[in-house]
Amino acid sequence: MTIVVHFHNLQFNNKDPVYIQIAYFVKRQIHLGFAENGDKLPSRREMAALLNVNPNTVQKAFKLMEEEGYVHTTSTQGSTVYTNEAIMKSIEEELTKQLVDDFIKSAKEVSLSIDRVTELLREQWNERE
Amino acid sequence: MTIVVHFHNLQFNNKDPVYIQIAYFVKRQIHLGFAENGDKLPSRREMAALLNVNPNTVQKAFKLMEEEGYVHTTSTQGSTVYTNEAIMKSIEEELTKQLVDDFIKSAKEVSLSIDRVTELLREQWNERE
DNA sequence: CATACTGTACTAATCGAGTAATACAGTAAG
DNA sequence: CTTACTGTATTACTCGATTAGTACAGTATG
């Protein structure tokens, strides 16, 4: 049985480019285990209709995802999710280590110590509605 | 004696807009205590010459800084740093609490727990060249 | 072979942010 | 009064990113 990755719960913000958000969505699906190796992705035109965007915008997302390695495409059979240990690791790196690293950089820029940072983190972690 | 805030150690990156970087620089000078209430800022044209940018770019930075409240301007005497407890607090908020809060948001987006985050922080804090 | 799908390449249009050029209004100092 | 500074308003230019329009090439299916 072919599992098809679906996109009903993808909702766009209006600050990041659409094609980035699409790619990021797929990346997170993979990261969370909701999309696995071999899972089928909708065709460009299907997805465009689904998300109400231009097919070329979708195409740009696919191009990006392919370049980043977690989507494979064949001319006639469309695109599928591609993962293996290395891919999973690199996604994990980007979504966590990279995130943390960028944060550390900013924190140091304003002279925060690690202790102060951890303190603020614990204070603010559950402080959101 | 009039203390003049100086800008020799402001160096631009090429990803953020120049006028944002100028304002951010001043904000950090205040935050670090290097610029205090009443300190004089160079005129638009002076600063433009100093930084090799267009006077209007500088003007845009000043407009922003004034809107954000930590710079005051008079038509003929130029601009000076303005701070008080409230300003200092709001700068502190932006540069720390806001920073942390944005980070928490991103971390939760990729399902990181607070424990995992603190762990990563400690691992990566001193890992930079 | 014809139809209806795939993906792709190329070009054009749009849009907004950032920067720059220029001219104007006011004032302190000589 | 003139000069040389202030800041400011208005307009135009540039540039790049994003999105859109259109046409093309290939293939599986009937």
- The DSSP H or E segment spanning A48 is helix A44-51
Average pLDDT for A48-62: 97
Average pLDDT, chain A: 95
Question: Residue A2: what pLDDT?
Answer: 81
Contacting residues of A for B98, CB less than 8 Å apart: none
Question: Residue B2: what pLDDT?
Answer: 81
Low-confidence ranges of chain B (pLDDT < 70): 1, 128-129
Task: Quote the minimal CA–CA distance from A95 to chain B in Å.
Answer: 7
Question: Residue A3: what pLDDT?
Answer: 87
Task: Give DSSP secondary structure letters for A15-40.
Answer: SS-HHHHHHHHHHHHHHTTSS-TT-B
Above pLDDT 70, what percent of chain A? 98
Structure confidence by residue, pLDDT tens digits, A24-39: 999 999 999 999 999 9
Protein-contacted bases of chain C (C-beta within 7 A): 5-10, 17-22, 26-28
Structure confidence by residue, pLDDT tens digits, A69-96: 999 999 899 999 999 999 999 999 999 9
Interatomic distance B129 CA / D22 C1' (Å): 51
Q: Are A69 and A1 in contact (CB under 8 A)?
A: no
Q: Are A10 and A50 in contact (CB under 8 A)?
A: no
Residue B69 CB closer than 7 angstroms to strand C? no
Q: Could you say which residues from 30 to 89 on chain B have a Cβ atom under 8 Å away from some Cβ of chain A?
A: 31-32
Per DSSP, what are the bridge partners of residue A40? A4, A80
B121 and A112 within 8 Å at the Cβ level: the answer is: no
CA angle B29/B1/B66 to nearest 5° reads 40
Residue A113 CB closer than 7 angstroms to strand D? no
Question: Residue B1: what pLDDT?
Answer: 60
Question: What is Dmax (Cα atoms) for chain A?
Answer: 55
Secondary structure of residue A101 in the 3-state scheme: helix
B122 and A114 within 8 Å at the Cβ level: the answer is: yes
Could you give the CA distance from residue A23 to residue B72 in angstroms, rounded to a whole number?
45
Could you give the CA distance from residue B40 to residue B49 in angstroms, rounded to a whole number?
17
Name the residue with tokens 């003929």: B76
Contacting residues of A for B128, CB less than 8 Å apart: 101, 104-105
Question: Residue A23: what pLDDT?
Answer: 98
A99 and B103 within 8 Å at the Cβ level: the answer is: yes
Nearest to B114 among A32, A107, A121 (CB): A121
CA angle A7/A8/A12 to nearest 5° reads 80
Contacts of B2 (CB under 8 A, 6+ apart): B39, B40
Burial category of A74 from C-beta neighbours within 10 Å (exposed 0-12, middle 13-18, buried 19 and up): exposed
Indicate if the pLDDT at residue A129 is higher than 60. Answer: no
Distances from the Cα of B117 to the Cα of A53, A100, A103, A121, B106, angstroms: 36, 8, 11, 9, 11
Contacting residues of B for A103, CB less than 8 Å apart: 99, 103
Provide the 8-state DSSP code for A95: I
> Buried b / exposed e across B10-21, counting CB within 10 Å, b at 16+?
beeeeeeebbeb
* Bridge-based pairing state of the strands B71-74 and A78-81: unpaired
